[in-house]
Amino acid sequence: MSRPLFLTLADDSWQRAHYAMVVAAGALSLGRDVTIFAGGRSVLALTPDWSGLQGVLADSVLEARGIAGFGELRAAVLDFGATVMACETGLTMAELAPEDLLEGVMVKGIVSFLELAGDNPLLAL
């Protein structure tokens, strides 16, 4: 059995959020368990409208280039059972409420994420 993957995001970079979804989708396709923790303003990536992220490229632009769009990747990550957490403090920072998040996203603190990760390595993007 392979080790679970623990990813954390800390800023509002669309490119980092997109790449986190690429990594998570790849790990899930290999049968690994994945947990993503969005801290700070990266919680914007977990809302229906992610346009508040910095440097957004439209999904249509990516798809025209043969690259999976952010919406498609994020839906796949959630559909394939990743555990996705939004930081309580990050929600406050981004002026969001828990009901502003996608269905299936849990609101947790960093201690909950670290407790779940245990001694497994963390990948910060």
Is the model's pLDDT at 59 over the cut of 80?
yes
So what's the pLDDT on residue 1? Answer: 64
Q: Write down the pTM of the prediction.
A: 0.95
* Residues 25, 104: Cα–Cα separation, whole Å: 16
Tell me the average pLDDT across 62-89. 97
* Residue written as token pair 């996203």: 105
Q: CA of 60: how far to CAs of 8, 63, 69, in Å?
A: 26, 5, 7
pLDDT digits (tens, 9 = 90+) for 85-116: 999 999 999 999 999 999 999 999 999 999 99
Among residues of the chain, what percentage have pLDDT more than 90?
98
Among candidates 5, 39, 10, 40, which has minimal Cα distance to 23? Answer: 5
Cβ within 8 Å of residue 82, ≥6 positions away: 24, 28, 33, 34, 35, 36
Cβ atoms of 50 and 44 within 8 Å: the answer is yes
